[in-house]
Amino acid sequence: MFSLVYRSVATPVFGRTQIKEMLGKARQFNQKNKITGCLLYYKGEFIQYIEGNQIKVLKLFDKIQRDNRHTEVEILSHSHIEGREFKEWHMAYEDFARDNDDLQFLRLLTSSFVDSNSKTLDPNPTSTYFWRTAKRLLNIHSSYRYR
Ligand SMILES: Cc1cc2nc3c(=O)[nH]c(=O)nc-3n(C[C@H](O)[C@H](O)[C@H](O)COP(=O)(O)O)c2cc1C
């Protein structure tokens, strides 16, 4: 089992509506290929965590990297993992559009990373703690659109 985290910048025409449309297809593909993970969209930037079979993850990342709906794709971390963090999520998604107390902590973690353009913050998207927090907070809302 393998995981990969990257960040990127969305092109101006690729907004929330387009992202949700893209996610419909992405989740079908991910389900077929046993890929799970989480996509965060904040202030026009993406941070995505992808996990699954190493070859499948790398093949998918190769496609994602060449996708012209975003630019400046930069890998933040990749590693072998014992088990999945996002077992039942074929790509959880959060764009922080809602005003919601439960998401405040995650927004804070994400914004401090995106705003400062820093890789030294701890926790940051390279850490398991960051994604466990994301999972916990997104789980609270799993009854609607975030699965
Ligand atoms: C930020 C971002 C995240 C994406 N995440 C996924 C994903 O998790 N799974 C997926 O199949 N496609 C994802 N895509 C779409 C792929 O880049 C690509 O369009 C898709 O795999 C279809 O490729 P194909 O038409 O060459 O088969 C993502 C695209 C972007 C811009």
Structural domains of the chain, ranges and CATH numbers in brackets: 2-139 (3.30.70.100)
CB atoms within 10 A of CB 22: 16
Sheet arrangement for strand 92-94? 70-80, 2-10, 45-52, 36-42, 92-94
Q: Which atom belonging to ligand 1 lies closest to the Cα atom of 63?
A: 17
Instruction: Note the pLDDT of residue 118.
Output: 62
CA dist list (Å): 84 to 60, 80, 137: 17, 10, 17
Residue 17 pLDDT: 92
Q: Write down the pLDDT at residue 119.
A: 59
Q: How many CB atoms lie within 10 A of CB 88?
A: 10
The beta-strand segments (E) located in 11-147 are 36-42, 45-52, 70-80, 92-94
CA 26–ligand 1 middle distance (angstroms): 6
The residue contributing the CA closest to ligand 1 atom 24 is 63
* pLDDT tens digits for range 24-44: 999 999 999 999 999 999 989
User: What is the reported pLDDT for 141?
Assistant: 59
Furthest CA-CA distance within the chain: 38
Nearest atom of ligand 1 to the alpha carbon of 37: 8
Low-confidence ranges of the chain (pLDDT < 70): 99, 117-122, 140-147
